[in-house]
Chains A and B, each alone.
Chain A
């Protein structure tokens, strides 16, 4: 009976504690992201900032998708690639937890979207259209 109680308390503690930590982290991240503002693009074009890491298969696939996107929309957006393990402090500003992560920045300099993990070309196109 004591063991069941300990087990129940452990499960409850982890679940409740996890939810609280996640809630606080999300709020902090949202506040940090809201405070980020980039220089507006001279031509009013959106930008994609892509974070990658070494030995990352998904990052290679993401780069292929971004290259295809550049071919499909020549001169309609600019692309910046960034190694998250080298520019770690820069990556941290975006609350980066995984690679690849892509950040879509509107022509005004405001962040339009942050995609954690591999993102499809279709999704990026939609985000660029609305940015």
Chain B
């Protein structure tokens, strides 16, 4: 089962953090991006225990602000998408730290764009890539 509202909370966090980081500028903005990358990486390594997921469960669900919306489905594609996002944001923070602002923001904005597309249109690019990779693996095996 996949909690759609947990995924949406995650996407809102990504969009908001990258937008705020951009407004703060490269020097100060790299830290929120690095922190977000770490939070997402924890969520990938230990599913359900990432800081955003914990905040969603203990801060939003337990107070009744948001109700879980569990739908049948595999969580693996979403974890893959999150791993992709964490990697891009990690690289983005690193590039910003090294002074390559344009490349750093480009990577950050790719993650923002994909999270926004998922939030507004419900299309998960990372999940789509995961399924395509599964298909390629299957074809290679056959």
Using a CB–CB cutoff of 8 Å, the interface residues on chain A facing chain B are: 3-4, 6-7, 10-11, 14-15, 18, 22, 53-58, 61, 84-86, 88, 97-99, 117-118
Contacts and interface: CB of A to CB of B under 8 A. Distances in A.
Interface stretch (B6-14, B66-74, B88-96): B66-74
B72 A118 contact: yes
Contacts of B131: 53, 98-99
B97 interface: no
Q: DSSP class of B's interface residues: helix, strand, loop or mixed? A: helix
Contacts of A6: 22
Given A3-B23, A10-B112, A118 B71 contact: yes
A22 B109 CA distance: 21
Contacts of A88: 135
Contacts of A58: 72-74
Interface in B10-32: 19, 22-23, 25
Contacts of B47: none
Given A3-B22, A7-B19, A14-B117, A54 B138 contact: yes
B99 interface: no
A57 B120 contact: no
Interface of B: 19, 22-23, 25, 71-74, 76, 109, 112-113, 116-117, 120-121, 128, 131, 134-135, 138-139, 142
A7 B74 contact: no
20 contacts: A7-B22, A10-B113, A14-B113, A14-B116, A14-B117, A18-B121, A53-B134, A54-B134, A55-B74, A55-B76, A58-B74, A84-B135, A85-B134, A85-B135, A85-B139, A86-B142, A117-B72, A117-B73, A118-B71, A118-B72
Contacts of A4: 23
Q: Which 4 A-B pairs have the closest CB atoms?
A: A118-B72, A58-B72, A85-B138, A85-B135
A48 B113 CA distance: 37
B120 A86 contact: no
A99 B23 CA distance: 39
Given A55-B134, A85-B138, A86-B142, A118 B120 contact: no
Contacts of A10: 109, 112-113
B121 to A, nearest CB: 5
A10 B23 CA distance: 13
B140 to A, nearest CB: 11
A22 to B, nearest CB: 6
Given A18-B120, A85-B138, A86-B138, A118 B73 contact: yes
